[in-house]
Structure formats: structure tokens, C-alpha cells
Amino acid sequence: MSSLQPRLLIVDDEPIMREAVSELLAFKGYEVLTARDGLDALDRLVMFLPDVIITDLMMPRMSGFEFLSVVRDRFPQVPVIATSGGFMGNEVPPGVLADAFLPKGGYTADQLYGKITELMSAPPMRP
């Protein structure tokens, strides 16, 4: 990895979640940009290509499901962690186009750091 800070994009319509995760990751040394929904995130991706995207699945205007479909088409090399309170467990739910899944509010900071590190060090696994 280069000496540059890893770049992350956090996409969540809940300001408290978005800011808490952003601050947690910035404290750990990541360069973090946030977006309030999928449409906002697509605007950010035009100028900021992250090393990892962390996105909620249930959002207004453009859901995480729709956003992930566009990301997989336009930016297939960028790993994605999906989060949601609507699914349990740590396995990617069926039909979710993400590399990893964490239940919203049900993971620790260390689990998040570990998943980011794992995804950044693994070669892309795209069909």
C-alpha cells in the first residue's frame, strides 16, 4: 500500500450513523467522504474514487441496492461493504451486490476495520 491514506466513501441517509462511522474511520487514519444517499454518492464518485465504499441499503431517492448496481457496472474494482438493520448475520444477503455485509448497529469498530483491511488487501473477485 502506498503512503497515501486509504480513501473511503460512507453512504447513509441517517446523519448520526454517517457521521459516527466517518469520525471513527477518520480517527483511524482514513480519508473519508460521506454521502446521504445513492444519488449523492454517485455525484461524489465523479471526483473521489475510494478504496472501499460502505453503504446502507435502505435509503430514500436511490436505495443502496440501486446504488450498488450502478457501482458494480461503473466501478467494479471498488470493494463494497453493505450495511442494513433489515438483515442479520455477517453474510452478504442474497441479491446484494456487495463484497461484505455488516448488520447496522451490530458490529464493532474492530470488525469494521478488519473488514476494510481484508477487502483492501484482497484481489478483486468479480465474475
Domains of the chain are 7-121 (3.40.50.2300)
What integer pLDDT is reported at residue 111 of this predicted model?
Answer: 92
Going by C-alpha positions, the residue among 17, 24, 90, 88 that lies closest to residue 55 is: 17
Contacts of 18 (CB under 8 A, 6+ apart): 10, 11, 12, 34, 36
**What local confidence, expressed as pLDDT, does residue 2 receive?**
44
Three-state DSSP string of 73-86: HHCCCCCEEEEECC
C-alpha angle 71/66/36, rounded to 5°? 85
Written as tens digits, the pLDDT of the chain (127 aa) is 344 789 999 999 999 999 999 999 999 999 999 999 999 999 999 888 999 999 999 999 888 889 999 999 999 999 999 998 777 667 787 888 899 999 988 888 999 999 999 999 876 554 4
